[in-house]
């Protein structure tokens, strides 16, 4: 079996399962309002997505770590086919937004793998090169139309992601506690999908990073780069007028830090110019000015998010 056949066989059952509306229905007949029952159903769906994608995570990691130019096209195609699920918008908004999650999980996996070996051409292959066509729109990078924040949005929806992360930490919540989250009487996580991805992927990368601290730093860099690639796509004239989809955990994790990872990476890009490693891998079209502009936008957005008025 050659490489292309291997990836085709890897993604086929995932595509088939994502298309099964009995397993991933666009609506929940048991409840149409945000109730504890609905929240538990939503959390269960995220976990079913995690289980479905689990067989693909190690291959995605290894290809992103060690792949070369001949591997890029089929890797891009694999992400693109999974990301196509996010363009299907029939159903409850909170459930259609969740359709971004499978491709987002693969994107994060590949991004961390690429960063572990500084193999940035593979990061480009799973971000800037992965095109989707949202309903009624031209093709554009999936990373521009998606993001950890766009899965749950703001305000009340954040309660769902909070329950997910609390369960990740072994905390089982009563209906009364979930109601408190839904009504805002209990604090909600601001970066819940990012936090969940951080938890899910940590065991996968235990051998790639010497400590939990190193893994957390790499995760920050991955999210900054994903946000920067998204901002660069927006700056290149992509006709997408939706919100910025990132807001990864690096924003709040570094709210009391003098210099966040986005500022450090901006300084790297400014100081190293055309020799900055991500540019050598083809990110930002290899153009230093584009990388600097994109990271400036990311830094500005992170500052606003950390503001008490956000």
Query: Three-state SS for 132?
Result: strand
Answer whether residue 245 shows pLDDT above 80. no
Q: Output the pLDDT for position 152.
A: 84
Over residues 222-248, the mean pLDDT reads: 83
Query: Three-state SS for 85?
Result: helix
Q: Output the pLDDT for position 29.
A: 63
- Angle of the 101-116 helix axis to the 212-235 helix axis, nearest 10: 110
- Give, rounded to a whole angstrom, the gap between the first and last alpha carbons of the chain: 52
Tens of pLDDT, residue by residue over 15-45, are 999 988 888 988 876 556 789 999 999 999 9
Residue 73 and residue 26: Cα distance in Å, rounded? 31
Tens of pLDDT, residue by residue over 141-183, are 999 888 878 888 767 789 999 999 999 999 999 999 999 999 9
Over residues 199-211, the mean pLDDT reads: 97
Query: If you compute the radius of gyration of the chain from its CA atoms, what whole number of angstroms results?
Result: 19
Over residues 82-109, the mean pLDDT reads: 92
Q: Output the pLDDT for position 91.
A: 84
Answer whether residue 79 shows pLDDT above 90. yes
Helix (H) or strand (E) holding 279: helix 277-280
Tens of pLDDT, residue by residue over 271-296, are 999 999 999 999 999 999 999 999 99
Residue 134 and residue 84: Cα distance in Å, rounded? 9
Answer whether residue 309 shows pLDDT above 60. no
Query: Three-state SS for 15?
Result: helix
Using CA atoms, how far residue 277 sits from 113, 188, 235, in Å, is: 15, 37, 21
Answer whether residue 303 shows pLDDT above 70. yes
Q: What angle do CA 88, 91, 46 make, to 5 degrees?
A: 80
Q: List the structure tokens of 283.
A: 């990110």
Question: Domain locations in the chain?
Answer: 3-306
List phi, psi (to 5°) of 90: -75, 130
Which pairs with CB-CB distance under 8 Å and at least 24 residues apart come from 13-19? Answer: 14/52, 14/53, 14/56, 14/82, 14/102, 15/81, 15/82, 17/52, 18/52, 18/82, 18/85, 18/99, 18/102, 19/85
Q: What letter would DSSP give residue 284? A: G
Instruction: Using pLDDT thresholds of 50, 70 and 90, give the confidence band for residue 7.
Output: very high
Q: Output the pLDDT for position 243.
A: 65
């Amino acid at each position: 079996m050659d490489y292309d056949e291997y990836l085709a066989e890897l993604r086929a059952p995932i595509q088939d399962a994502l298309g099964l509306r009995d397993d991933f229905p666009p609506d929940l007949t048991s409840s149409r309002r945000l109730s504890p029952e609905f929240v538990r159903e939503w959390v269960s769906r995220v976990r079913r997505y995690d289980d479905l994608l689990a067989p693909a995570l190690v291959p995605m990691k290894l290809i992103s770590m060690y792949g070369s130019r001949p591997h890029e096209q089929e890797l891009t195609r694999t992400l693109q086919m999974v990301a196509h699920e996010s363009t299907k918008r029939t159903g409850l908004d909170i459930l259609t937004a969740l359709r971004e999650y499978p491709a987002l999980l693969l994107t994060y996996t590949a991004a961390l793998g690429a960063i572990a070996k500084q193999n940035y051409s593979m990061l480009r292959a799973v971000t800037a090169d992965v095109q989707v066509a949202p309903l009624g729109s031209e093709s554009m990078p999936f990373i521009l139309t998606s993001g950890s924040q766009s899965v749950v949005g703001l305000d009340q929806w954040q309660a769902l992601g909070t329950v997910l992360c609390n369960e990740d930490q072994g905390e089982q919540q009563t209906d009364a506690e979930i109601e408190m989250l839904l009504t805002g009487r209990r604090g909600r996580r601001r970066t819940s999908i990012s936090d969940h991805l951080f938890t899910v992927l940590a065991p996968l990368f235990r051998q790639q990073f010497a400590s939990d601290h190193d893994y957390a730093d790499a995760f920050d860099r991955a999210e900054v780069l994903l946000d920067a690639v998204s901002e660069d796509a927006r700056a290149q004239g992509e006709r997408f007028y939706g919100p910025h989809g990132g807001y990864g955990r690096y924003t709040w994790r570094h709210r009391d830090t003098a210099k966040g990872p986005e500022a450090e990476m901006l300084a790297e890009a400014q100081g190293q110019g055309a020799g900055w490693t991500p540019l050598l891998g083809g990110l930002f079209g290899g153009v230093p000015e584009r990388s600097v502009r994109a990271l400036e936008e990311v830094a500005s957005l992170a500052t606003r998010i950390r503001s008490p008025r956000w």
